[in-house]
Structure 1
Amino acid sequence: MEHNLKEFLDKKAAQYEQPNFIKDDPICIPHRFTKKQDIEIAGFFAAILAWGNRKSIINSCNRLLMLMDNAPHDFILNFEEADLKPFMSFVHRTFNATDLYHFFNFLQYHYKQPSGNSLETAFSKHLNAKSENIEQALIGFYNLFFDETVFPDYPRRTRKHIATPYKKSACKRLNMFLRWMVRSNEKGVDFGLWKKIKPAQLVCPLDVHVARVAKHFGLLQRPNSDWTAAVELTQHLKQLDANDPVKYDFALFGLGVVEKF
C-alpha cells in the first residue's frame, strides 16, 4: 500500500505544484516581487493574514501593500510614526492596526541589524544542522518577536497572531511561510530563497482539509490539529520523501480543497 500511496501522492503533488496554482493562493502576493526582502515581507504578511477565504486574504494583502507603496522593504526600513496614519483603519479578521504597528516595529528592528539582510536569520539562528525540524526556530522566532528588552510596550493582544509550538499550536501559517521561503523554486511556486534551513527540516502546514485527507490515508492518527499532529504527519511524509516531505502539502491541500476529497 505504501508504494501505491507514494506513487499516488507524488502524482498529486506534481499536479498541484504548478505555476497555475499561484493565482488563487496567498503565495501570489510575494510572487509580485523580485527583490529578496520584498518577497520575504510580502510573504510574511500573506502567510500571517492567511485566515478566512483565499479571495479576502489576497484582497487584504493587496490593500496592505498598496499602503506600503508596493515597496515593502523600503517602507519597513524608512517609516516613521507619521507614516503610519494611513494604516489606522487596516483590519483583517481580528488583525488590526495595533498588531500591524508591532509587526512593522519588529521588521524594522530586524532589518536594521547587522545580520538583518534577510528575515531568515530570525528563524535559522535558533537551529543547527542536527535539528530534526524547525520547532526551535519557531519558538525562537516567537521569543524574538515579543522580546521585552527590545519592545517593552508591545501589545499583548498581538501574541495571538504569531503561533509557537511552545503553546502547542500547529503553526500552520508560519509553516506555510517557511515552505515558501525554503523549498526549491524548481517548479516555479515556492521560492527557495533561504539556504540555512533545509527542506527536510520543514513541518507540513496542517489545517482541517490537510488533516482530513491525511487521516483518510492513515498518515495521521492524532485527533487534535496541534503541533504534535503536524510533526506526526510530517514524520509519515518523510517515509515517502525524506529530503522534501512538505512537497506533499500540495497533494493533501489539492485533494482536500480543490477536489473536496
Structure 2
Amino acid sequence: MTQTLFNIRDRLALVTGSSRGLGNALARGLAHQGARVILHGRNLALVQEEARAIAQETGATVEAVSFDVTDAQATQQALEALIAQCGVPDILVNNAGLQRRAPFNEFTPSDWDALVATNLSSLFYVSQVITRAMGERGSGKVVNIGSVQSKLARETIAPYSATKGGVAMLTQGMAADLARFNIQVNCISPGYFKTEMNSALWQDPAFNQWVEKRTPAQRWGHFDELVGTLVYLCSDASSFVSGQNIFVDGGMTSVV
C-alpha cells in the first residue's frame, strides 16, 4: 500500500529552472523515482546536456525545453507546443528563481522588477497554462518552491522576501481555485542549501557560522533532503493536502 501511495513512476513532470542548482537536483530526484521529466532553462544547449546526463544516470525519459518564463506570451506558446508534443504534465514544479541583494533604500527599480518577474509573475504565467490543461483532464500536482524567506526577513533581501511571501500566498489562492479540478497545489520552502545562487553566502566564513548556529540541525541542507518532500507532494499520498507551505529547513523557522 505504501509503495503504491508514493509511486510516481511514469508520471510526467515539468520542472522550471532545472538546468542547474536546486531545480536540477529536484528534477534528478523525480527521475530517480521513475518519473518522466522535462527539464527547463534559458540556455537550450545546457538543458539538453543535462537532460542527457540525467537520462543516462537514471534510465528515465528526460526531455528538454527552453523559454523565458518572464515573458507571458512566449511561455504560453512554448507550453502549448510542449503539451502537444509530450502531453499534459501530471506534475508541475515551479522552481525558476532569481536573487539580488542590496540594502532596501539602495535597491534599484530594475532589480525589483526582475525579481518580481522571475520569482512571482513567471509562476503565474506557467501555472495558468499547465493547470488549465490539468483541469480539463481532472487531475494534477503543482509544487511551488518558496523559501524560509517566505516567513523570515533578513537584511539586503527585502524584495526577494516579498516575492517568496507572494509565492506562499499564491499557493494558497491556487489551492482554493483549483481543488474543484482535483489539482493539489503546495509549496516547499527550503532553508539554507549550498546553491550556486547563494554561493557568496556559504563561501563567507562568518555567514556560514551564522547559519550553523541559527539552524537547530547545525548545518546547511543537502539537496537530496528535499526530494522526499517533493515526491510526497507529487504522489497520491498527498491527495487531500493542498495550500500548504512545508518548510524543509532543519528547524530554522521553528525557533527564535
TM-score normalised according to structure 1 size: 0.33
Give the number of the structure whose residues are more often strand, by fraction: 2
Give the number of the structure whose residues are more often helix, by fraction: 1
TM-score normalised according to structure 2 size: 0.33
